[in-house]
Structure 1
Amino acid sequence: MATGPVMEGLFFPLSKLFWMAVRPESWLLGLMLVALAGLLLHRRRLAVTALSLAIAAFLVIALLRPADTLLGPLERAYPANPDVTAPAAIVVLGGGEEAVRTDTYGQPHISDKGDRFLAAIALARRYPEARVVFTGGTGWFRTGFLPGSEVARQIFTGAGIAEERLILEGRSLNTWQNAVNTLPLMADLPEGGIVLVTSAFHMRRSVEVFCAAGWRSLIPYPTDFRILALGHRLGWRFAENLQELNQAAKEWIGLLAYRHTGRGVSPQTRPGCLLP
């Protein structure tokens, strides 16, 4: 589906507003609000039904970790620790940095997706000739926040990676912008594979988006795996499990939305996008 400049500008805020409405925790809140409305309106059956559904959902999330069922097809799309040989660049997608805390405390902070940086640093040391590329802006509606690219610069240089090896892109607000804004910066690189580093749950969508944007010779390098072995899933972990369920739902919605708008395509339809 073709998209014009107006749609491009609206895609980011509309996607954020839509996600606020459909995320699983919003549905839980909605059920509790319906139950409250039922009580206030003296509609006992409505209140009991809504409250029962909310409690059942709470227990399922807390005890059974349903996110793993949704995350499985995403995290198994590409293998961990793929073969890499003399890559031209290591591209790290934003999301693993904590820009606000970095700005507040004057030292680099990482988020729960910080494994992206650990993997990139290890790869950078293993392949010292490869350029290290980071792409990511603030991800906020407001301006004035430290861009993710500056946090990445502090993390990489603090890990001993020379600043002249870095290529930093700090304007992107989503995965599509990551792909489109960063591709021109790769024009002068030598021949070689492009190692794409992001969280395993995000890799499937990232590959489809980068293929749609015209990237070639990608080597998906997933990290930050979330699925737990069956023996570690049981327990009372409502907050953790809800967070993972939110993440899984967001990723599936994003995958479908990007495909529908032409921002994501199967790599099989773009020969050369993935390195053989």
Structure 2
Amino acid sequence: MPISRLVDPLLVLLVAAGVGLALSGGDWSFRTRGAKIGRALAWSAWLALWLLSTPWLSSALARRISTVPRDLHAELAGSSPERRVLVILTAGIDADEFGEPAMERQSAAGLERGLAAVRVYREYGFGHVIVSGKDVRGAPTQLASAMADLLVELGVPRKKIILETESRDTRENALHSTRIARGLSADAVVVVTSALHMPRSLRMFERAGLDVLPAPVRFQSLPPEGPERLLPESLSLRRSQRAVHELVGLLEP
């Protein structure tokens, strides 16, 4: 089990609240030390869960971590389109229950990355496109193949697509994609992934010894104005969880 799963905000705060209630022993009078600690812990967990569920805090966390887009025109100047490599990091895929094509079963993040990759491909031109990721629950090649099918459907020539189906996480995405890109003698490598996931991806590619250019997808917008930004919602809690997941990933040795 990855450590990021153990520090999921919802899991941590529910455990903290439970421990706090257990320590209080039903004594809310503050007359015992255990009751004082338990009550403080339970209320702190409640407050943290509320704040992490607000659009205000979740948006601030996501925007603080995310990589903002850069001017790829300037970054790619001087390199030949045929010597450029585009790397797409896959995100996830649902199990096949009703016979839908794998392309349609990709996660929302995966579809966003695929659409952005096609835009970047059309705008700048690339000699090769590496689709990186292994489906750890089903057929190993299913995830990358699903992304490749989407790219082809949207106009990317299949002959330019290289499937990298060994990677189980971001570190392996970087290692295996770097190996392939070096074998292609690439002049420039552009990586497409979610803006929130990009800082960790760039760090892993740097550790793999490859200088890459970021093409981040889905930069988080500002929260709504007014009191609504302080009202909890499940979507915001999910966004905070993703931000914490990426922060923990940045601490990986």
In structure 1, distance between residues paired with 2:15 and 2:200: 29
Per the TM alignment, residue 169 of structure 1 is displaced from its structure 2 partner at its CA by: 0.4
Change (3 A) 1:189 1:26: same
User: Structure 2 length normalisation: TM-score?
Assistant: 0.80
- TM-align CA RMSD: 2.8
Per the TM alignment, residue 136 of structure 1 is displaced from its structure 2 partner at its CA by: 0.7
Q: Does 1:231 align with 2:228?
A: no
Secondary structure of 1:226's aligned partner: coil
Per the TM alignment, residue 64 of structure 1 is displaced from its structure 2 partner at its CA by: 5.0
User: Structure 1: any 5+ residue segments left out of the alignment?
Assistant: 1-12, 262-276
Partner of 1:61: 52
Per the TM alignment, residue 92 of structure 1 is displaced from its structure 2 partner at its CA by: 0.8
Structure 2: which amino acid aligns with 1:149? A
Partner of 2:89: 93
156-165 vs 103-112, greater mean Cα deviation: 103-112
Contact 1:137/1:170 (8 A) holds in 2: yes
Contact 1:92/1:135 (8 A) holds in 2: yes
Contact 1:93/1:134 (8 A) holds in 2: yes
In structure 1, distance between residues paired with 2:97 and 2:154: 16
Per the TM alignment, residue 25 of structure 1 is displaced from its structure 2 partner at its CA by: 0.8
Secondary structure of 1:153's aligned partner: helix
170-179 vs 188-197, greater mean Cα deviation: 188-197
Contact 1:89/1:133 (8 A) holds in 2: yes
Secondary structure of 1:161's aligned partner: coil
In structure 2, distance between residues paired with 1:132 and 1:177: 17
In structure 1, distance between residues paired with 2:247 and 2:181: 29
52-61 vs 225-234, greater mean Cα deviation: 225-234
Structure 2: which amino acid aligns with 1:130? G
Change (3 A) 1:123 1:33: same
Per the TM alignment, residue 57 of structure 1 is displaced from its structure 2 partner at its CA by: 2.3
Per the TM alignment, residue 104 of structure 1 is displaced from its structure 2 partner at its CA by: 5.1
Contact 1:136/1:173 (8 A) holds in 2: yes
Select 1:176's aligned residue among 171, 177, 185: 171
Q: Does 1:111 align with 2:107?
A: yes
Q: Does 1:150 align with 2:141?
A: no
Q: Does 1:79 align with 2:69?
A: yes
Partner of 2:188: 193
In structure 2, distance between residues paired with 1:166 and 1:64: 38
In structure 1, distance between residues paired with 2:219 and 2:210: 24
Change (3 A) 1:103 1:255: farther
User: Structure 1 length normalisation: TM-score?
Assistant: 0.74
